[in-house]
Structure 1
Amino acid sequence: MMKRTICKYIVSLSALPLLSPLVNNACSANDHLLNDPSLMPIQSAVSQASTGLLKSSPTAEKHFEWTVTYTDNRIWNPAANDWDRVRLRSYQGTGIDPQAPYVAPTIVMAPGDTLRATLKNRLPKDETCFDKSLPINKPHCFNSTNMHTHGLWINPAGNSDNVLISINPNVDFQYEYNIPADHPAGTFWYHPHHHGSTAIQVASGMAGALIVTGNRPPTETQNGDIDTLLPGVQERILLFQQIQYYCHGEGKKPEDYDCRNERDIGQIESYAALAPGKWSDSGRFTSINGQVQPVIQSKAGQVERWRMIHAGVRDSINLEFRKMKSTNNNLRTVLHQQALQQDALIDQYCTGEPLTQFIIAADGLTAPAIRQYATTVFQPGYRWDALMIFPEQGQYCVIDTAATASANVGPTMSPRQLLAVVDVSGRAKADPASHLMHTLTENAKQQYPDNVSQQVIHDLEKGQLLSKFVPHLPVTQTDGRQSLTFDIKNGLFLIDNKPYDLARIDRELMLGTSDEWILTSKLASHPFHIHVNPFEIIAVLDPDGKDVSGPDAVDDFDSSAPPDVQYRGTKGLWKDTLWVKNVQGSTYKVIVRTRYQRYIGDFVLHCHILDHEDQGMMQNVRIGISDGRKEIAHGHH
């Protein structure tokens, strides 16, 4: 029974011949992982923690191995109605599906667990890693690597989530990730983070989901895990990747992309494929769990939790679900004929009204209330957990809909793309919103004591509140203020008017304090990401000073485009990655608050457009201990 439960975490998709001949049998590929009892969720819960969550006990130690190497395989190309041969850097080892090697396996953890993960670098030697004359912010050293567990609240130093080390070719290193007993349950992910090669490696598919399960029910005085309100709910993980390979055929340039010659092999060996606008130029398709345009099987009226992760390098994803019009044509033939005319295909077949996405978590952290979105905007690094209900049988389009220039990484208007099809069987059910509320209230009655269930149900009825499941308390008072400004000037990628310097500590912060941060961007828009401690969104002010983060806010500052929906309802959310917007030189002001808890040491913050990070849009942060006189202690004297 437990094996089937965990399989629901990993086997998110069922690919049918309708759209792609690839079958990703993740259950069989991960049998040795799923049968390992150390990877099963922890069940018990005990006393209070500082965040308001209950602790989990006992602990378990898990073992994992990644071998980084070049892998020859193939990726389905709908535009050619055929496979493209590719040779890309990838992970091999624990849990890898040989049929989909350009996506790393899902890791399932629980609060209190320890993960010992050995990383073996078997890429060829790269002499650029030792050339001291090369500028640090010029992308190079593509075959050195390391690992970042994106969003985890763990130690940033030593052999934990330390991105300031280099694991060079023919070097092995074992990471030890100790998940605190009071760590929030949620959806996280992992990827390489070696300065100079991060974008190249993530763009090759070196990324995977990391799920922290939660089995701590709320009590009368303490918050618990949202997982306990969702027993029996089907879970799906969708890891979105944008693998922008190109072919080095005779007479071709890297930016030509074309892989039509049978002798061509797709590769990623330069940043030519990562420039603004190149994703749409490439004709590549966003993959989901290593598959291009898969079919997802579902049942009408079934409540499902979709854990969705943007693991791409730079391009925004604007997610919609629409009912597909019935067609007598072979859909695969239609897709082949219109593969490069995605707008026409979507206009013709994806004609239904957008379905509601019931958002319950942002960047792995449970939201204060359920948010109802028709379009969910993913910037690189974002995660959204949605409760999805498909109301009737039929096929549904999963669409990356068009983003306006001011809401997109480009910054150009992005084209639409069909990401997947959901094939729904069964009979029609009640209105999704009513059905969801009924399901959650009944679950609360069955899972919790009367006094707790009454409180949970009262919150749900009051405004779909999730007050008993929020993992972090609001930051009501701060000790100081931090400001940060992104900019691109004279070809340099800057934060606070400086490019990255490995030897410079840009910010020294004190353990046990809290700050309010003001985030802005002078040129283009950038997703801000900080390691270790997440932050609470206080406000997002447009250039006229209007707060566009409220539940009913309308961001219509850019009069040349439709209103931008990505900030609506974000006030009060806890996140680790957030879009800092600029519209043609007009600056938004993003206000967040954060606490510096438990961990000291050095880590980084950066733009999560990963080629921007590699070119210098990053800072070093140090958290230190108080010296007892309101300053940071700096050693012996």
Structure 2
Amino acid sequence: AVFTQTMSVWLLLAMKGWLVATLIALSARAGLARITCDDGSQSLPCCSDGSTASAGANCPDGSPPTDTCGSCTAGEATVECIKEAAGSSGFGVANPCGSIDIVDGPVFAAPPVAESSNGSLTVTLEVVPGTLDAGLYSFQARMFRYNGATAAPGPTLKFKAGDTVSVTLVNSLSADGNDATKAHNTLRLPNTTNIHTHGIHVDPATDNVYLGVEPGASHTYVYEIPSTHMPGLHWYHSHQHGASALHLMGGLVGALVIDDTNSTYVPAPVQALTSHVMVVTHVALCSCNPTRDPFRIVSYQELMSGTGDTLPLRFQAAASNTAYGGGSVLLVNGQHQPKLSLTTGAWSQFDVVNAVGDSYMEIEIRTAVNAGDTACSMVLLAIDGVYLQASRAITSFMFAAGGRASIAVMCDTSGTYYFQSYPQNRAADFEACVRGNLVTLEVSGGSGATADAPSWAAGSFESPWYLKDLRGATVTGEWTVGVEQTAIVSPAGAHLGVGADCTIPCSGRSDCASAGFDDPNQYGSCPYVPFEGHHSGAHYRHVGKLCTVEDVVIWGRGATAHPMHIHVNHFQVVSVADRRYAQYWGELGDFRDTMPAFVGASRVRYALADFGGVIIQHCHFLYHEDHGMMDRFWVG
């Protein structure tokens, strides 16, 4: 008996050692997970008819189970995340989140399109629970239902300048888990939704993110699109304060396309290109860098727990997912690594939305994922829905969270290439990046000739008045914003500094600490306060005037920059102290609506000429925004 017990213990220890060794070996994959049923049992085998078999039993039809999934006979599956060794240092990670594996994905499919006719577009978007299929796994989240189909992303809304766009948002979610007593600037209200039209130049009274559509309620947004609006790519998403990060990762997003047909505000070479809309989303049930660093990827499960979400997760791993668990996955139009067929030598337009609230992307085309040679040719056409004054040949492009780009792509040699997020730790730390193949490009056919690249010179097309070059304009107002990392190490301190002088006198964590700047309110006339919300009286930390041009100087610090987004008005980049902007992000004179708060001062400029009211600005790492890194200013 003693011998038997000794051997049993030895075997258990050996098995434990094997398991630990296996987990360590697998830790190169971001965000690993085990699946355990709430009743304590293991994940159950799957049957060909979709049902599950009890442990050790055959399927209902008597056949053996075919594979294993994350379903449980009763109750919910718990996704137990395994911390990656690379994230154990406390700040940052050695590698970005995501996977370098290549999978045989589905044929590329664009989201359904709801297009205007005779000057108007009327759509109904219903928010319902749905199954989000991330390729390697699936889980239940909140999604848009349109024309009877539930999907993430939602439909692409396509219309023209001068159109009237009517969107009725119907919230069919349950009120369970919506605890209105939870404190402002915390994760809360997972089942209250709304819509923000990110990038569209419209009346802020319509694009009203203060308005929350409660469970069982509906609201109709009516957008009057200015007749002078530049055509381009934008997007819409839920912007419910306290639940924004949860909703974006769950898929409450969609593309907005302002039609460029026959517009004088579009460069002529663009009109001939075939467009492929690519709405990129990021899902992660497990965090690959679970440190206290403010830029870590916050997992969907953490967001559920924080908001008090009671919607069942219903996690189910794909049959091929034997090691990856619930880690970071990049999706394009809701597909995992779809395959897009291109013609050799022909140019196509990729309209890409980084529809995320937690990470940067660095886009490249290569012969392998996270390696290989650069391949194909790319021409940058537009940033954040604004066409460049002159076309720009590129080999890579950095996307901020919420950013967009229109890129012309041509491969002159037949073959297979990978349009991928390939972060190289040169424009943002790996802690804020996700790597992985986005779209597999299958290039073939063609006449053997290579078409001319779409190109144009400055002055060859007209820009609408609100996007004219402002670098020579008379500036009548200036204010500053401080984006300070120290203030958000604890989520309770997530806020912006706004005032006459938000100069940050240090550039990194160590030199700020050695200089004694451990409290951002030591910096002078720049109070750091959390977002006050809508019902806080008439106090605004900045007031702008219509019919003027203003500068805002954005101060930041640290290797990773908070992506700052301003609603309603695009701004022009006038100067940036941090050399990384010119190296990797863009050029002075570009218009954007989302701008990283680089180390030191970044000066941007905008015209206030048509829309007054409350304008929102916030960090587009939405976990920060949900905790108060948001502010409002008044234009009148």
Task: Please state if 1:378 is matched with 2:375.
Answer: no
Q: 1:76 aligns with which of 135, 145, 151?
A: 135
TM-score, reference length from structure 1: 0.68
Aligned to 1:90: 143
Query: Which segment drifts farther, 495-504 or 177-186?
Result: 495-504
C-alpha contact 2:380 2:408 (8 A) present in aligned 1: yes
Structure 1 segment 109-188 matched on structure 2, within 5 A: 109-126=159-176, 128-131=178-181, 134-157=182-205, 160-188=206-234
RMSD: 2.9
Q: Distance in 2 between matches of 1:151 and 1:92?
A: 23
Shift of 1:73: 5.0
C-alpha contact 1:485 1:522 (8 A) present in aligned 2: no
Q: 2:376 aligns with which of 331, 351, 355?
A: 355
Task: Please state if 1:601 is matched with 2:613.
Answer: yes
C-alpha contact 1:315 1:409 (8 A) present in aligned 2: no
SS of aligned partner of 1:90 = strand
SS of aligned partner of 1:616 = coil
Task: Please state if 1:296 is matched with 2:340.
Answer: yes
Shift of 1:130: 2.5
Aligned to 1:509: 544
Aligned to 1:393: 414
C-alpha contact 1:235 1:304 (8 A) present in aligned 2: yes
Aligned to 1:584: none
Q: 2:478 aligns with which of 470, 478, 481?
A: 481
Shift of 1:231: 3.6
Q: Distance in 2 between matches of 1:76 and 1:572?
A: 40
SS of aligned partner of 1:352 = strand
Shift of 1:271: 5.2
Q: 1:306 aligns with which of 341, 350, 363?
A: 350
Shift of 1:430: 5.3
Q: 1:269 aligns with which of 284, 290, 304?
A: 304
Aligned to 2:444: 425
C-alpha contact 1:316 1:409 (8 A) present in aligned 2: no
Q: Distance in 2 between matches of 1:522 and 1:418?
A: 30
C-alpha contact 1:245 1:268 (8 A) present in aligned 2: no
TM-score, reference length from structure 2: 0.68
Q: Distance in 2 between matches of 1:505 and 1:140?
A: 25
SS of aligned partner of 1:291 = coil
Shift of 1:598: 0.8
C-alpha contact 1:244 1:268 (8 A) present in aligned 2: no
SS of aligned partner of 1:92 = strand
Q: Distance in 2 between matches of 1:281 and 1:513?
A: 53
Shift of 1:272: 10
C-alpha contact 1:66 1:117 (8 A) present in aligned 2: yes
SS of aligned partner of 1:484 = strand
Q: Distance in 2 between matches of 1:281 and 1:318?
A: 25
C-alpha contact 2:110 2:333 (8 A) present in aligned 1: no
Shift of 1:398: 1.4
Shift of 1:198: 0.7
C-alpha contact 2:389 2:458 (8 A) present in aligned 1: yes
Task: Please state if 1:237 is matched with 2:238.
Answer: no
SS of aligned partner of 1:361 = strand
Q: Distance in 2 between matches of 1:291 and 1:466?
A: 39
Matched to 1:374, the amino acid is: T
C-alpha contact 1:24 1:97 (8 A) present in aligned 2: no
Q: Distance in 2 between matches of 1:113 and 1:207?
A: 21
**Cα distance, 1:271–1:402 mapped onto 2, change above 3 Å:** farther
Matched to 2:629, the amino acid is: M
Aligned to 1:453: none
The superposition leaves residues 342-401 of structure 1 with CA deviations (integer Å, 9 ceiling, x where unpaired) of xxx643xxx333433201111001111112211111110111111111112111111211
Task: Please state if 1:436 is matched with 2:453.
Answer: yes
Unaligned runs of 5+ in 1: 1-17, 41-58, 78-83, 219-223, 248-256, 260-264, 274-279, 325-344, 441-459, 555-564, 582-586, 625-637
Q: Distance in 1 between matches of 2:326 and 2:251?
A: 16
Shift of 1:305: 1.2
Shift of 1:135: 2.2
SS of aligned partner of 1:103 = coil
**Cα distance, 1:408–1:238 mapped onto 2, change above 3 Å:** farther
**Cα distance, 1:389–1:604 mapped onto 2, change above 3 Å:** same
Shift of 1:22: 4.3
Aligned length: 467
Aligned to 1:622: 634
Q: Distance in 1 between matches of 2:260 and 2:602?
A: 31
SS of aligned partner of 2:495 = strand
Shift of 1:92: 0.7
**Cα distance, 1:91–1:62 mapped onto 2, change above 3 Å:** same
Aligned to 2:311: none
SS of aligned partner of 2:183 = coil
Shift of 1:64: 0.6
